[in-house]
Amino acid sequence: MPATIIDGKSIALKINQETAAIAAKLAERAGRKVGLAVVLVGDDPASAVYVRNKVKACADTGIESRMIAMSASSTTEEVLQVIRELNADENIDGILVQSPPPPQVDESAVILAIDPDKDVDCFAERNVGRLLIGEKPGFHPCTPWGVMELLRYSGIDPKGKHAVVIGRSNIVGKPMAALLMQKAAGANATVTVVHSGTPDIRRYTLDADILVAAIGKPEFVKGDMIKDGAVVIDVGINRIFDEALGKNRLVGDVKYAEAVEKASFITPVPGGVGPMTIAGLLRNACIALQLKLEREGK
Ligand code: GUN
């Protein structure tokens, strides 16, 4: 039987409705809206689309966004200067620098410069550390949090399951493994992380009850790498040229047509994990203002 499709778009919509209610309450308490700055350096078309989607989602949720577009020739120092100004801005609760920036910009330096209290991507050392420890409250890493929410909304409990994460990026793979292995309700999985240095990835994926593909390679996971009845979560967003269509098309890291015949649940691309990443970001922006108000005793 083909897999049940996990509809990330409609789950994200529900979460964003809750977020809008949270944002409205916070705005009342703070006397201003939650403020999110989105910095886009350069003119990568895919990044521009992602940033536009983030700005639109803010507007739909009652979050004030400030988009800062910087030229492709910007230096690290110029980006750092923008970050310093945003750090000091009382009306900005969250700062996001769209990744990847152009190669001349030192991304780690930029991430480290963001005030950890405004780090809505959950990339800063302090927040990554807290995540690993399982300390609350704090920011969620947006995409991995989105995946956990997809599982929860679909009634899939990772407890005692073997979760295999393909990919070890700081944005997805590492925090994904951390969330899945937490000793907490809705987690408690046994986690294996495989990556470009793993000699026989199939050996591990074939044993996965929950398979999270975040390797950034179009249709990398084939049907014969998936155990019957596995839950397949596809984090990949890749543009490929489709000869038959004569144009570009989005595909994930999973060969969907094959996987859908093996899996019990599967996320589509687009409309699976993608909308959840933005939902995670909007929620983090609210958490940033909530924590600020608590720090200020308001
Ligand atoms: N590029 C792709 N995904 C992300 C994300 O979650 N945050 C940022 N800042 N850049 C990205």
- Please tell me the distance from the alpha carbon of residue 154 to that of residue 72, in angstroms, as a whole number: 41
CA distance linking residue 15 with residue 10, whole number of Å: 9
- Write out pLDDT tens, residues 38-58: 999 999 999 999 999 999 999
CA–CA separation, 35 and 57 (whole Å): 13
Q: Answer yes or no: is pLDDT of 209 > 70.
A: yes
- What is the predicted pLDDT for the residue at 127? 96
Encoded amino acid at 177, one letter: A
- Cβ distance 163 to 210 under 8 Å? yes
Cβ atoms < 10 Å from Cβ of 201: 17
Residue 210 and residue 182 in contact, taking contact as beta carbons nearer than 8 Å: no
| pLDDT at res. 215 | 97
Q: What residues are annotated to the active site?
A: 54, 98, 121
CA of residue 137 to ligand 1 center, whole Å:
22
Q: What are phi and psi of 137, to 5 degrees?
A: -85, 165
Please name the residue whose Cα sits nearest to atom 11 of ligand 1.
Answer: 99
- The pLDDT tens digits of the residues spanning 68-88 come to 999 999 999 999 999 999 999
CA angle 98, 100, 116 (to 5 degrees): 50
Contacts of 97 (CB under 8 A, 6+ apart): 39, 41, 79, 83, 107, 110, 111, 114, 121
Residue 229 CA to ligand 1 center (angstroms) comes to 31
User: How much is the pLDDT for 137?
Assistant: 61
Q: Please tell me the residue having the least CA distance from ligand 1 atom 3.
A: 99
Q: Which residues contact 130 (CB under 8 A, 6 or more apart)?
A: 138
Contact 232, 211 (CB under 8 A): yes
* Atom number of ligand 1 nearest to Cα 99: 10
- Kindly report the pTM of this predicted structure: 0.97
pLDDT for 113 equals 98
How far from each other are the two terminal CA atoms of the chain, in whole angstroms? 54
Candidate from 277, 278, 281, 283 with most ligand 1 atoms within 8 A of CB, to mutate:
277
Ligand 1 proximity of 284 Cβ (cutoff 6 Å): no
- Rounded distance from Cα 1 to ligand 1 centre (Å): 35
Q: What is the pLDDT of residues 103-145, one digit of tens each?
A: 999 999 999 999 999 999 999 999 999 999 988 768 999 999 9
